[in-house]
Amino acid sequence: MISRRTLLVLPLAAACTRPQEAFQGYAFVANQEGGAIAAVDLGALAVARHIPLEGAPTEVTAAAQRPSVYALTPDNGTVHEIQIGNLKLARKLAVASQAITMALAVDERTLYVLAREPRSLIAVDLDGFKPAWKLALPDEPVGMALSPDGKTAALTSGRAVYLVDLAARRLSPPLGQGDYGPVQFLTDSKSLVAGNRGERLLSAYSVAAQRLITHLPISVRPDQFCFSRDGGQLFVTGEGMDAVVVVYPFFTPQVGDTVLAGHTPGAMDVSEDLLFVASPTSGDVSILSIATRKVMAVVPVGSDPGFIRVMANDQYALVLNRKSGDMAILSVAAIAQKKSRYSPVGLRAMIPVGSRPVSAVVRAI
């Protein structure tokens, strides 16, 4: 006999054990030495197509409202547009002799390319797929960030930090002197943080006043930045310690903790609750609880992991291994439920993607 209570519970139990629906979309992976973009079907967990490019791609970004992915080949200063529908190269545009990085505008109408030769910031109109304007720069640039409100760009060089009023196409005077690398705006667009690699400082600047707020000495060279999803914590890794420096960037910025994590930690990304930190020398990823700052898991992923991308829905964390040429797929939910710190339960799949994969972006279809 099956009781009425049991009958009521059975559908709930079935729902709880039902496997998660497969993600409908792709991870587009830039293979630097392979000269191609690998489109990985994240539902089938297999490469759907390799898309060859002229040049060595180092960066890829996707538009949310456009059916396109954009790849940058810095060695020839070219932007490549790939159609998501047929996974084919649609258009390409050489904007400079050499480029460094790119960033998609908030409204997705413009792609900004930071060029080394000639030293400039170039705005590409994505509708016409042609340069819209170009702003000459006084120094060789290193890094770039766009403000969340879409009004300002921040540029760094080996000498200074600059702001660009994107509507007026106007460059500010240098905000600070130093060997700067990574730069990021805070979520309110009112201030930014730049990493002074030469002095091992984080420099916080007011955007409106174009002035220094404070310098924060840290124990590592600021090579890599990663914000928590709410923007309330900034995680920093770099040469100097096997650790992640945690910074509270709002109000009066201050250094919170310095947390030991992995060996020569580098690339990072976050889910809602977890921080993923790659250790290239040991071939693993350390996963920390953002709330407690404790290491929850250490997962072997491959040879020379140098890039991590956590999906927006927190289903998978994708780890690119530069030397072994594959992508490790980690289940975020499985890691959150791990009972053993060193259990490999979080590793969902290993997918060969190409030669020296260095960047990836996820796009639903």
What pLDDT is attached to residue 359?
A: 98
What pLDDT is attached to residue 251?
A: 87
Q: Give all domains of the chain, ordered by start, each with its CATH number.
A: 137-260 (2.130.10.10), 267-365 (2.40.10.480)
What pLDDT is attached to residue 341?
A: 56
* Among 144-158, 300-314, 336-350, the least confident range: 336-350
pLDDT score of 135 more than 80:
yes
pLDDT digits (tens, 9 = 90+) for 46-63: 999 999 999 999 999 999
What pLDDT is attached to residue 252?
A: 87
210: left (phi > 0), else alpha (psi -120 to 50), else beta? left
When the pLDDT of each residue in the chain is averaged and rounded to a whole number, the result is 93
Of residues 94, 97, 53, the one with CA closest to residue 75: 97
What pLDDT is attached to residue 176?
A: 87
What's the CA gap between 328 and 348, in Å, rounded? Answer: 8
The sign of the dihedral angle between the CA atoms of 133, 139, 145, 147 is negative
Percentage of the chain beyond pLDDT 70 is 92
Q: How many CB atoms lie within 10 A of CB 234?
A: 23
81 touches 90 (CB < 8 A) = yes
pLDDT score of 345 more than 70:
no
What's the CA gap between 305 and 284, in Å, rounded? Answer: 7
pLDDT score of 11 more than 80:
no
Residue where the block lists tokens 């600070």: 176
Residues in CB range of 65: below 8 A, 6 or more apart: 108
Percentage of the chain beyond pLDDT 90 is 89
pLDDT score of 20 more than 90:
no
What's the CA gap between 18 and 4, in Å, rounded? Answer: 22
Tokens encoding 133: 């304007």
pLDDT score of 110 more than 50:
yes
* Assessment of whether the complete model's pTM goes beyond 0.85: yes
- Taking every pair of Cα atoms in the chain, the longest distance, rounded to a whole number of angstroms, is 83
What's the CA gap between 81 and 71, in Å, rounded? Answer: 7
pLDDT score of 21 more than 80:
no
Of residues 181, 227, 185, the one with CA closest to residue 207: 185
Coil, helix or strand at residue 16: helix
pLDDT digits (tens, 9 = 90+) for 313-344: 999 999 999 999 999 999 999 998 875 555 55
What pLDDT is attached to residue 15?
A: 39
**Burial bucket for residue 87 (CB in 10 Å: 0-12, 13-18, 19+):** middle
What pLDDT is attached to residue 5?
A: 36
